Amino acid sequence: MMEEKKEIYEEIERVAYTIHEKRGTNGFELENWLEAEQIVMERVRGQTLPQKTGTPRAVNAPKKKTASPRPKKVRKSETEA
């Protein structure tokens, strides 16, 4: 168990450094680490999380209802032609 945690930590280090190299700037160490942590933990869990597209919905939360499309209004000029 302890060895597995060490391997995960070292993998996060490697990924964070790779992100740093790609970014090419200093001052983003925390952001690099957090991004690397997310990438590695997704691999470990074997799942892919949605990208930053908004607030994630709870798994068991009900889906929002969407409005059904309204029928297109036909103008008198369109029907007379």
- Any idea where the domains of the chain sit in the sequence? 1-48
Token representation of residue 14: 């490697």
Cα distance between residue 35 and residue 72, in whole Å? 46
Could you give the 3-state DSSP secondary structure of residue 51?
coil
pLDDT at position 67 is 59
Over the range 22-54, which residues count as b (16 or more CB within 10 Å of their CB) and which as e? eeeeeeeeeebbebbbebbeeeeeeeeeeeeee
**Arithmetic mean of pLDDT, 50-55:** 51
pLDDT digits (tens, 9 = 90+) for 10-52: 999 999 999 999 998 888 999 999 999 999 999 999 855 555 5
* pLDDT computed for residue 26 by the predictor: 87
Summarised one tens digit per residue, pLDDT across range 61-73 is: 555 555 556 666 7
Checking if the pLDDT of 78 tops 70, the result is no
What amino acid occupies position 81?
A
